[in-house]
Chains A and B, each alone.
Chain A
Amino acid sequence: MSAMPRVITAAAFLCALATGAQAEPLRIPVLVPITGFLALEGTSQKNGAELALRGSGVDFDVDDTATSPEIAVNAFERALTSGRNREDVVAVVAPMLGTQMLALVPLADEFAVPMVTVSGTARITELGSPNVFRFFPGDVVVKAAHARFAVEELGAKRPAVIFQTTAYGQSGRAELDRNLTALGHPAVIAEGLDVSVKDMLPVLSKVRDSGADALLLHLHSGPTALVVRQARAMGLNIPIIAGSAMHQPETAALLEPSELAGVCAESGASPISETNPDMLAFADAYRAAFDREPDAFALGQYDGVRMLLAAIRSGAKSSADVREYLSTQRYQGLAMTYASDGKGNMAHSAVILCYAGDSRVPAIVKRYENLTGVL
């Protein structure tokens, strides 16, 4: 055997090695708010994404977007243009804060990179972008469940609404108004609360004076706990149906079990309330990794990233491939079945959970499946 074939073989092998060495792993940057007023929810989002990505072979870096659009855009540009090959980024885990998402949408469209998020702000999927994928039921879904449970299950005829004066709050309030009116029982009073307000007595007094027979909350975690506590302290014993912040174990931890009696909440899911083996395994893994209880934001982001990984396993090698997969495929996650409605809304089901008053772990009392009819 002449030396030439061996040389050619060796050269081909070296080339293959070199090519292999140059190939960077695919990347999914995780851009989430882990400081600021949304740190609690943002940390859940981060943990959910991180748990899904660990050991997946996909590279990821976590970057804090805090609470301003400016910092979110900085983080996005850094993730895509600083240092490494932009083509390696097949998708981005994008912040759950609505104003940040609104700033990122034009950038994601420009870079043609799909964003996977658990933001509840309705508007982010109404901008006509093909790159937004929401793995948490939006306000259209959860507020429908919220209003229907209050009216149809609890018999509320004079509901009161307290909402946060943030993007999250205003978006949810609009959907609550729409649904309550459609059900024939519009809110007798709707009051906005700034996140810095600590004394809820004035607004609760207004609710009592309005003659409301149910109180619907759409607030962040801390204000939700304050309203529940002060409502109970002042003897306002009408049913309270809170927003998804109430389902978070960290929110329940701020209250005594007795204060939680008669309190319900809407959510996309409640991992600590579920008993099926897959969900129990997820909850155990989450606790082991982060030493805290999982919530619906963590689970939604976990499911979203698992769908991204499913896309990669099915052969997706670029952001375009991933976007195509997310847009067209159905995915059975732990919380629910996900599929795009054509606008990037992937989650279409919600649950209502209630606290019995003897524990901080709620029970799921009602499931609202496929509220949008997409599935």
Chain B
Amino acid sequence: MSAVLSSLTRRNRLTIVAVAALALYALFFASSYDQRILTLAGIYVIMVLGYQFIFGHAGALSLAQGAFFGVGAYVTGILASQYGTGFLLTFPLSIAGASMLALIVAVPVLRLASHYFALATLALSQLLLLIAVNWVSVTGGANGLPGVPPITIGDWQATRGTSLLLFVWGIAVAAMLVARWQLNPLRVAVFTVMRDAPLAVPAFGIDPGLLRLRAFVLSAAFGGAAGALFVHTNRVVSPETLGFGIMITCLTMTVVGGRFGILGAVIGALLLTHLPEWFRGLDEYYLVAVGVLLLAMVVFAPDGLASFFKQRRIPASPPGHAATGIEENATSVKTGVRVLEISNLSKRYGGIQALDRVDLSINAGEIVGLIGPNGAGKTTLANIITGIARADSGSIGSAGFDLTTATPTAIARRGIARTFQTPQLPDGLTVHEAVATAAANIGNTANKASSISARATTAIATCGLTRIADARCGTLPHGLRRRVEIARALAGAPHILVLDEPAAGLAPPEQAEIAEILRTLAASGLAVLVIDHNIEFLRPLATRLACLDAGRLIADGPLDEVLADDTVQNAYFGLVQQ
């Protein structure tokens, strides 16, 4: 026993003590009324856990959680009160009903961004409220439907008090387990990338649409479950369950408790259900008191009260523990073999010809420098190669596959990785977590946490970042952030690496470190395309140089020859030939 206790972290011990104290109070000292408030808190825990998926992890301000709660409530309310359907059927149907609604509205709604998404989900809530109020024959109209029976399973019944409290919290614990399963540390990290570094999302095999859909449907399922329990607790279903008040309650609980994690949901729900009751003695001023306290919490704990506790992290593997190396995968393509073939590629933005019939190829083990004046089309080419932009004409092929119209996710999974002009790293993730997100989504190995972690560890070691693997990306200087981006690109074991100005803003020693890393990678068979203005950085690095000017490829060949070319001199260095 003592061995088990000593193996627990301080946080876990505190959690166990707090849960035990709360359980003792609820079961042996709480009045029926106190138990009711705790029961409601349990229901709201389920609702908030669901809302964390879409609002917290996916970062989308959905105002439909109240609607999903209401749908769950009405499915149970109508079936139980009008048809006498039992809990074992109404409960899953409530979850399914809310989830189906989320699936149906996801198609048009999830495409919308930020405030448009919020408005669309609000409109959904209002539409459902109107239906509930006006479809009197089915919903009971504004009165709602009374006569919802208590939860009954066989001969057992949870009317109120201890039995209902235990049942609801039992479901809440099950919801916590589902949330924990769905939100393993790696997936939390992936959500963080999607939220905080959106440009990087598709380039590393993360399908943002699928992630948001998953979050939206899960939030609806949890909302539906909470709504079903709510009507059994209140014994009536009425339009208030679809009202904006429920949505605001859920949003407030999530903001106050925390947008992430079980602890945030529990703290938010317990606090917000009890606050009005604690301040009840202030009569008509209690709303003011509750408001002031909530404001103070939001000001002093903007990330929620649960942020005072540490979150789960992806455990880093020891450096020597890497099972599969980056080099091993990269050298699976023989040095000298053509791995990227770009033919006749054109792209126009309005009146500007960004790329004009560009032909370019890269072989395994080759480092190709791409130079050109500002606006020459270098980043456009990188974006088209990695699928972020679509070419108007021409083709891109790699290892026998036509990638011209492939999605960024598909291209990433075909072994083409990239970095960005401005590093796209979520500040809140550690270096290991940021790199692991790419390993998880585009790695070729089985998606097991241990192998993902090992691949990330190897990529980090390759870039010389092992000693800062647990540092948060937001705390790193610019030079290290560049290297973390390269490590993340390597984590998916690519064949081709596209680097957009990797040396920009770096001091010469930092440039040299990056050059050394790239040389090592190329030597192991990786094809590298380096876009940069810095000739001094490229001169000792690139085995070949290409130059773009006004969208046209004006030179491609050995570095010294290209640099000596008159056209390049004229276009890039501005030296007018006499």
Contacts and interface: CB of A to CB of B under 8 A. Distances in A.
A300 interface: no
12 contacts: A35-B284, A64-B283, A69-B144, A69-B238, A82-B33, A99-B238, A102-B143, A106-B146, A110-B159, A123-B143, A165-B134, A167-B143
The A interface is mostly helix, strand or loop, or mixed, namely: helix
A72 to B, nearest CB: 9
Contact of B245 (A64, A68, A83): A68
Interface residues of B, number: 35
Interface string A164-190: 011111110000000000000000000
B401 to A, nearest CB: 57
A68 B240 contact: yes
Nearest to B239: A99
A281 to B, nearest CB: 28
Nearest to A126: B146
A358 to B, nearest CB: 36
B227 to A, nearest CB: 12
Contacts of B230: 70
Q: 4 nearest interchain CB pairs?
A: A81-B32, A77-B33, A167-B142, A102-B146
A74 B236 contact: no
A94 to B, nearest CB: 14
B137 to A, nearest CB: 12
Interface centre among A68, A98, A166 (most CB of B within 10 A): A68
B141 interface: yes
A34 interface: yes
A303 interface: no
B32 A103 contact: no
Contacts of B32: 77, 80-82
Contacts of B239: 99
Contacts of B243: 68
A73 B147 contact: no
Interface in B229-263: 230, 233-236, 238-240, 243, 245
Interface in B1-58: 31-34, 36-37, 40
A171 B134 CA distance: 12
Contact of B33 (A81, A106, A169): A81
Nearest to A36: B245
A127 B238 contact: no
A192 B141 CA distance: 12
Given A67-B240, A69-B238, A98-B143, A82 B136 contact: no
B141 A105 contact: no
A62 B283 contact: yes
A78 interface: yes
A81 B35 CA distance: 10
Contacts of A170: 133, 136, 141-143
B280 interface: yes
Interface of A: 34-35, 62-64, 67-71, 73-74, 77-78, 80-83, 98-99, 102-103, 105-107, 110, 121, 123, 127, 165-171, 192
A80 B31 CA distance: 10
Contacts of A82: 31-34
A192 B238 CA distance: 18
Contacts of A127: 146-147
Interface in B198-242: 230, 233-236, 238-240
A77 to B, nearest CB: 4
B513 interface: no
Given A63-B280, A103-B234, A110-B159, 19 more contacts: A35-B284, A35-B287, A64-B283, A64-B284, A70-B234, A80-B32, A82-B33, A83-B31, A98-B143, A99-B240, A103-B235, A105-B146, A106-B147, A106-B235, A165-B134, A167-B144, A168-B142, A170-B143, A192-B134
A166 B143 CA distance: 7
B31 to A, nearest CB: 5
A171 B143 contact: yes
Given A69-B240, A81-B33, A34 B141 contact: no
B36 A74 contact: yes
Interface centre among B230, B234, B235 (most CB of A within 10 A): B234
A167 B132 CA distance: 12
A67 B244 CA distance: 13
A171 B143 CA distance: 8
A74 B277 CA distance: 9
B476 to A, nearest CB: 48
Nearest to A174: B136
A192 B280 CA distance: 35
A67 B32 CA distance: 22
Contact of A69 (B33, B236, B276): B236
A169 B36 contact: no
Given A73-B36, A123-B143, A127-B147, A78 B277 contact: yes
Contact of A102 (B36, B37, B144): B144
Contacts of B240: 67-70, 99
Contacts of B280: 63-64, 78
B414 to A, nearest CB: 54
Nearest to A39: B284
Interface in B395-411: none
Nearest to B235: A106
Given A34-B284, A170-B136, A123 B146 contact: yes
Given A82-B33, A123-B143, A127-B146, A102 B238 contact: yes
A99 B36 contact: no
A70 B146 contact: no
A81 B31 contact: yes
A178 to B, nearest CB: 14
A139 to B, nearest CB: 12
Contact of B142 (A62, A77, A99): A99
A118 to B, nearest CB: 17
A127 B81 CA distance: 13
Nearest to B286: A64
B427 to A, nearest CB: 40
B31 A70 contact: no
A157 B187 CA distance: 69
A107 B146 CA distance: 12
Contacts of B286: 64
B134 to A, nearest CB: 7
A81 B31 CA distance: 6
A71 B286 CA distance: 14
A143 to B, nearest CB: 16
Nearest to B159: A110
A85 B386 CA distance: 73
Interface string B328-355: 0000000000000000000000000000
Given A69-B234, A73-B36, A73-B234, A169 B144 contact: no
B520 to A, nearest CB: 64
Nearest to B280: A63
Nearest to A34: B284
A105 B133 CA distance: 21
Interface string B378-393: 0000000000000000
A165 B143 contact: no
Interface in B95-152: 133-134, 136, 141-144, 146-147
A68 to B, nearest CB: 5
Interface string B151-181: 0000000011000000000000000000000
Contacts of B142: 98-99, 165-170
A359 to B, nearest CB: 31
A244 B57 CA distance: 50
Contacts of A70: 40, 230, 234, 240
